[in-house]
Amino acid sequence: MAAGPDEQEKSDENGRERIVQATPPDRGPGDSGSEAEIIAGEQALEERAQQLAENPPDSTDVQQRMARDLRPRHFRDYVGQKEVVNSISIAVLAARKRGDTLDHALFHGPPGLGKTTIAHIIARELDSTLVHTSGPALERPADVVGLLSNLKTGDVLFIDEIHRLSHAVEEYLYSAMEDFRVDFMTGSGAFAKSINLPLQPFTLIGSTTRAGMLSAPLRERFGLAYHLDFYSIEDLAKVVTRSARILEVDIDSKGALEIAKRSRGTPRISNRLLRRVRDFSEVRHTGAVNKSVASEALGIEGVDALGLDRLDRLYLTTLSKNYQGGPAGIQALAATINEDQQTLEDVVEPFLLKIGFIVRTPQGRRTTQEGFEHIGIKPRLDVPAGQGTLL
């Protein structure tokens, strides 16, 4: 599929895979933006294309950037999520053996666990083109119809944050996923007519952090559905070691383990902390990373021995001190901390719940004994548990 001005392409080193970053078409004068802005945008694209033609990027630089990409490129390089990887790799190999398209797949779980990475690996193992877009980018039915009509046989369409698709766009995916066709209306009133647009067989891969927000008709059309869970410390240490090798960081096993312990069970956080430790070691030390260097660097970053950052400790301290360990409602906590409620629910609370520092009760959030001990506050024994009663 030829790339248009609104597509960006990237080829891997063996030329098998092509990734297309799909974006909705430019809005017309009747939508957002004036005609002058559209013309100016097209001129800017033409100028950029001419600059790239006159000064193409150095292939050596491209290869170096790709070599520093920390994403695994094959299933054999993927660390963790063994059950998911074993199942999806069998499905991919079976589809290749039959010469058929892979069933539509849905990956859900907390952010940073490798959902997007697996989608890229699937496309690479299938020798297919990966068309990458996101739920919020598909605003209108015309966006998704244009995207689907340009897919070729065997292409992989990856929609990140698929739960944020609008209902109008989502309905067009039903027939596209099941029957590989799209029915859409043109004209209005007496001139309205329905057009049946056949599509080439393709594979849709959806990624979401909130599987419960998907409608039942869409969720049931995925033949493959997997939940990605938090990583163990041992698997995270392997991730850190592999990333350090790619980034050419001298790190020992204890240093990798120290970073893994503070990564909240998430590979994305492991790689981020590794970069910060690398920077600290190059400036303050010799460049080699061991346990003491990693501990000192992460202490400066505000990440404690269990991976709690400043916001986590502020949440735990507020609940334990201001509200005597709870119960306290999430709205009251958000107002006290001056932080968005959604941020507390999606970013802070999942890890605190996982390690058992807080619990959710019908009356509100409560701090556990382990949570009190971690921040060094003694629980108030004179405060009755549960919800009080009116006199």
How do the domains of the chain map onto residue ranges?
8-227, 233-300, 310-375
Q: What are the angstrom distances between the C-alpha of 189 and each of 86, 140, 171, 172, 184?
A: 53, 20, 22, 21, 15
- 8 A C-beta contact, residue 261 and residue 233: yes
Phi, psi of 180 (to 5 degrees): 55, 50
Question: Domain 310-375, CATH 1.10.10.10 — does that match?
Answer: yes
Q: Where in the sequence numbering do the catalytic residues fall?
A: 115-116, 160, 209, 268
- Distance, CA of 106 to CA of 210 (rounded, Å): 11
- Distance, CA of 25 to CA of 333 (rounded, Å): 42
Residues 342-352 have pLDDT tens digits of: 888 888 888 89
* CATH number corresponding to 233-300: 1.10.8.60
The pTM of this model reads 0.74
Neighbours of 381 (CB within 10 A): 5
- 8 A C-beta contact, residue 130 and residue 20: yes
State residue 51's pLDDT score.
62
Which tokens sit at 375? 């921040």
Q: What is the mean pLDDT of residues 266-283?
A: 92
Q: Is the pLDDT of residue 252 over 80?
A: yes
**CB-count exposure of residue 130 (10 Å: 0-12, 13-18, 19+):** buried
Q: pLDDT band at 178, cuts 50/70/90? A: confident
- Distance, CA of 196 to CA of 136 (rounded, Å): 26
Residues 306-341 have pLDDT tens digits of: 889 899 999 999 999 888 887 999 999 999 999 888
- Distance, CA of 168 to CA of 162 (rounded, Å): 13
- Can you name the CATH fold of 8-227? Rossmann fold (3.40.50)
Q: pLDDT band at 381, cuts 50/70/90? A: low
State residue 60's pLDDT score.
44
Which tokens sit at 386? 């549960």
